[in-house]
Structure 1
Amino acid sequence: MVSNLAKISGLIYVSGDDGISSSNISKLLEMNESDITNSIDKLNDNLSNDPDSPFTIIKYDDKYTLATKEELDSIIKKYIIDDDEISLTQTSLEVLTIISYNQPITRVEIDDIRGVNSNKTIQKLIKQGIIRVSGHKKVPGNPKLYEVTENFLKLFGISSLKELPKIDKNLITKEEK
């Protein structure tokens, strides 16, 4: 017989990068949400205290997912940089900042703020899975709207956009006059 901890762990594992909410786990396992939360805390304690486990459970946007322990960040970042999978240039960081603080936002709006064309950078960030198309703006031409993904949150070690540092909005928006 498989324990509820194993079932919860399995569901978090198979949910992958999308994660799974405690309410979804609750429905699937017919358990109340406080028991789910307590079980996830216990699982996370087990993972944290096991020196041979590279994993931890993180919560972002009310969903749980597996992630690697913070202690492994340096080796993982080295792998990512060496493997060229995710490399963030100054331009990429500028575009990400504009999107994260103004989303959803169109490419033209990003270009207006930056003063230069951002198309190539946007395409690279989409390919890297850091931003995505979230819809189309209801204006002539129906331009694409962009927003950051869960991968953005994971990459910067935050669980929601509310954790972004407070900055002067005038630096990353174009005011209408």
Structure 2
Amino acid sequence: MLSNQAKIESLLFISGNEGITLTELSQITGILKPALHEQLDKLADKYKQDRSSSLQLIHAEERYKLVTKPALAELVKKYLNSNNITELTGAALETLAIIAYKQPITRIGVDEIRGVQSSSMIQRLQLLELIKENGRLDAPGRPILYVTTDKFLDYFGLESLDQLPELDEEKQEDEEMDLMTLFEQTTGSTEDEEEE
């Protein structure tokens, strides 16, 4: 059976850039908040002491997040500036199409449409400055809302979002495929879809 620390760590990982609140951790794991505080402190110390780990646990704006250690900033920046991420994968295009048509939308909203977890795709699109955070939804956990950026418009040669074809909500049986088809028509993209 997995330890409480392993459960917490998995939720921190899967929550991605949004992070997760103590309340959310407690509700999902069933662990009381005082015990969670203790486990989070131990986890933070573990990352701090482990020189072979690239991660650290941060606590900001009531949310806990796993991030890379500052000492790796140059390495991460080098990767981000390389050609490895300049092309959008099918999974990234799919995520971007959903955000473009449904904005503002939360990560969970994107996940529900895609049918898979989208944290890493959202992080990648943020790093490419194609999407950005745009406040929080007034709902439990106050999830982050995402919208496209001006760079998104430039990247796809659009003057405004009005140039995206309209979605016919009534005729959609497979919303995800309709979004991708419309987005590919607009952008001229023919990349094969990839799963995250």
TM-score, normalising length from structure 2? 0.44
Higher normalized contact order (CA 8 Å, seq sep 6+, divided by chain length): 2
TM-score, normalising length from structure 1? 0.49
